[in-house]
Amino acid sequence: MTQDELKQAVARAAVDYIHPKLDSDSIVGVGTGSTANYFIDYLAEIKGSFDGTVASSEASAERLKSHGIPVYDLNAIDNMVVYVDGADETNPALELIKGGGAALTREKIVAAVADEFVCIADGSKWVDTLGAFPLPVEVIPMARSHVARELVKLGGDPVYREGVVTDNGNVILDVHNMAITNSKQMEKDINQIVGVVTNGLFAARAADVLLIGRESGVETVTA
């Protein structure tokens, strides 16, 4: 199977997984990226089974709307049964690196609100130790150089993602060669740097369930 077919398989499995949990009042949180895009397309097939969605990016909101799926402002809803999103890396504790598509901050906010976080990923995203994928950090533009210097002090090699502006109007630094030995502590330490909006480590709020696509089929992993 191609990587794309594995993404489609986990996206389909996510719709099957959440469908029994939904009723006419349910709000579904929807992530961002190529795997989440497949999820949106399959979610459209059951759009009568829930109330609407909250999207973690403008791009996902547009795709949801193109299918006629309602998209709500997060401030207009008071509960969310589930959030479904992809990842750039996942470890066996279901801690993630996210933000390859620059949507990390809104993703982290929506994940924080959801009762359950379902991560969908093809098998290439599975690692024993996080950090081979450069860690994205969203930064207020005027603080870019300061944050980069502080990230070097923490042991990383930050690289400015040229030409990318997030949905929040900020920039991204991708931190290479960061040894992520204590993910929860590192998530906090990076977020303490003045000028950082958030970083792409999802350790404090890891996924609850991982649907991972392998040649042998979709495997369900819980932490």
**Which residues are known to be catalytic?**
107
**Residue 87 in contact with ligand R5P, rule: CB under 6 A:** yes
**Residue 14 in contact with ligand R5P, rule: CB under 6 A:** no
CA distances, 17 to each of 60, 155, 159, 208 (Å): 20, 40, 38, 13
DSSP code string of 46-93 = GGGGSSEEEESSHHHHHHHHHTT--B--GGG-S--SEEEE--SEE-TT
Residue 21: CB atoms within 10 A of its CB come to: 15
Smallest CA-to-CA distance from 218 within 1, 9, 19, 2 is with 9
- Residue closer to ligand R5P by CB (options 51, 116) is 116
Whether 103 and 33 have beta carbons less than 8 Å apart is answered as yes
- Residue closer to ligand R5P by CB (options 42, 49) is 42
Residue 132: CB atoms within 10 A of its CB come to: 13
Counting residues that bind ligand R5P (by CB under 6 A) gives 18
| Chosen residue from 17, 54, 101, 210 binding ligand R5P by CB under 6 A | 101
Task: State which residue has the least CB distance to ligand R5P.
Answer: 33
**Residue 99 in contact with ligand R5P, rule: CB under 6 A:** yes
Rounded to a whole number of angstroms, the minimum distance from the CB of residue 98 to ligand R5P is 3
| Chosen residue from 14, 28, 69, 102 binding ligand R5P by CB under 6 A | 102
Rounded to a whole number of angstroms, the minimum distance from the CB of residue 77 to ligand R5P is 21
Residues that bind ligand R5P (CB under 6 A): 31-36, 85-88, 98-104, 107
